[in-house]
Structure 1
Amino acid sequence: MTKPSSNRKKATSAASNNLKATARSAEDIFDPENPATATITVTAAEVEELSEMEERDRLHLERRVERAFFEAGKALAQLRDRRLYRSTHKTFEEYCRSRFGYTHRHVNYLIAASNVVDNIIMGTNGSQNEISDETATNGSQNEISDEMGTNGSQILPTSERQVRPLTKLEPSQQQEVWRQAVEQAGGKVPPARIVKDVVQRIMERTQVPNTYQIGEVCQILAKDNPELRGKGGCWGIVARVNDFSCTVKSWDGEYTVGLQHLKSYNYLPAECEQMRVICDRINRVYSSGLEESVQKFLEMLGKLNRAYLTELEEKVLSLLESEFGYEM
């Protein structure tokens, strides 16, 4: 016995051409003795089309959502660099925490992410094509060109987490990683997982052997790494050698730093030992709790590019040690 065919009407909807959607059956007529004569009444509901202006507004609003992290990063960088917080707060960190509820780390992530997006734009367009500072300052994103949208010819990040793995790479590497990640995502905005995987493969392929030795004195290069903000130019003593990083002891604690963010001073063994002693002395006094002016002095010693203290620096440090009961 041949089973009677069942025809099912499938409801479809496409935003591009605003097709009419099919509604559920409003009235069914069915004769159990003669199934072939069954009648299904179908009503159609019309999808309201958007006007040209509404389509344009929708596109602008979608892009504002996508680029919210980018605009935040650019604005925060201006607030920091121009010190526009100085009338109400002593430090930028206090201002961001009070005004936006942002931690210091989150602010650095946003600023670093906006720099990465600039690099991606530069790599795709062949020239710097940033969103203008005027746009960022005025808070309007309706002036962003269509070519920069994820709906246009260029696929750009839509969240800070997508580009966070890129901050540890050079600009040219950032551009290459993003291109590969977009390809793997099928020409769409890639999730952070795909970006992280591509970054890991590139780092493993281009990684050079770790040639640093315990006790070696190195300079920290902050570059665009938000986690090293404030440490650029500081020196540290290598305390542990890892596969792709070193743990260095600085004047205010220990930090794990990638090889790309370290530069050896090439000091002689005797000079390295002398700097180790100085580091221990500074660290011991700094952890005792000091006035801000005294902290600044120790921070200055933490950025010396010579393997010794001047006579005056030695006297001041010795005075601080005696103040807290420390003796050489």
Structure 2
Amino acid sequence: MGTNGSQNEISNEMGTNGSQILPTSERQVRPLVLLEVESQRSCWQQAVELAGGKVPTGRIVKDVVQRIMERTQVPNTYQIGEVCQILVKDNPELRGKGGYWAIVSVVNNFSCSVRMWDGEHTVGLHHIKSFNYLPAECQQMQVICDRLARIYSDSLEETVKSLLQSLGKLNRPYLITVEEKLLNVLESEYGREITP
């Protein structure tokens, strides 16, 4: 696919409409490098269709590439209750959540909904990585997640939010003694303490 800085139409013997829209910037074709060469042309054509027969934005091309890649990926092997680590990669909705743990609550074909201490998120399979915890450890993390979620609200003081964030990045399936004591104090202070 060539570019020359302006919108072009050229003859296309294979096309049904007799013309083909060409990209006008490198940003529009950059997502195509993730696909096999054979798939790039059909992806571009789908993006042009989505853009109403005009030169598509880089975002439209990226969305089409993502859909094609999801269709060719292996099936989702995650299970409800599994504890995973969040991998931000190229997802702006997960910015600031890299390294946090989350619990799978819904398993879809090519994504999962996960619960974190501050809410629920839907993420692609390439945005999570299993901790491979045992079932009992996953249950323990579920208890911790429930406790953190009961405390969390947007109106909390920054110090409390910071403590919850640090507990949301644990890379082990349990709280140490001081963490347990701090969490008990927060539950008591915010009136959301739960009896085990």
TM-score (norm 1): 0.46
Q: Could you report, residue by residue, the CA deviation over 1:213-248 in whole angstroms, capped at 9, with x for unpaired residues? A: 110000110001111111111111111111111110
Partner residue, 1:191? 56
Q: 1:209 aligned to 72, 75, 99, which one?
A: 75
- How far, CA to CA, are the matches of 1:249 and 1:174 in structure 2? 32
Contact map agreement 1:218 1:238 (CA 8 A) in 2: yes
Partner residue, 2:25? 156
* Aligned-pair CA distance for 1:178: 9.6
- How far, CA to CA, are the matches of 2:160 and 2:38 in structure 1? 44
Aligned length: 171
* Aligned-pair CA distance for 1:174: 6.6
Gaps of 5+ in 2: 7-22
SS in 1 for 2:84: strand
Over alpha carbons, which structure has the higher Rg?
Answer: 1
SS in 1 for 2:104: strand
Identity percentage of aligned residues: 56
**Pairing 1:281–2:147 present:** yes
Change over 3 Å in CA distance of 1:190–1:200 after alignment to 2: farther
Partner residue, 1:240? 106
Partner residue, 1:259? 125
**Pairing 1:173–2:34 present:** yes
> Which letter maps to 1:207?
Q
Contact map agreement 2:70 2:110 (CA 8 A) in 1: no
* Aligned-pair CA distance for 1:294: 1.1
**Pairing 1:291–2:146 present:** no
TM-score (norm 2): 0.73
**Pairing 1:218–2:84 present:** yes
Gaps of 5+ in 1: 1-123, 125-146
RMSD: 3.4
Change over 3 Å in CA distance of 1:223–1:194 after alignment to 2: closer
Higher relative contact order (CA 8 A, sep 6+): 2
Partner residue, 1:250? 116
Q: How does 1:1-328 map to 2 (within 5 A)?
A: 150-151=5-6, 155-156=24-25, 166=31, 172-173=33-34, 179-180=40-41, 181-182=43-44, 190-192=55-57, 195=61, 196-204=63-71, 206-287=72-153, 289-325=155-191, 326-328=193-195
The structure richer in helix per residue is: 1
> Which letter maps to 1:191?
P
Contact map agreement 1:177 1:198 (CA 8 A) in 2: no
Contact map agreement 1:218 1:264 (CA 8 A) in 2: yes
* Aligned-pair CA distance for 1:305: 0.7
- How far, CA to CA, are the matches of 1:150 and 1:179 in structure 2? 20
- How far, CA to CA, are the matches of 1:212 and 1:183 in structure 2? 33
- How far, CA to CA, are the matches of 1:209 and 1:230 in structure 2? 28
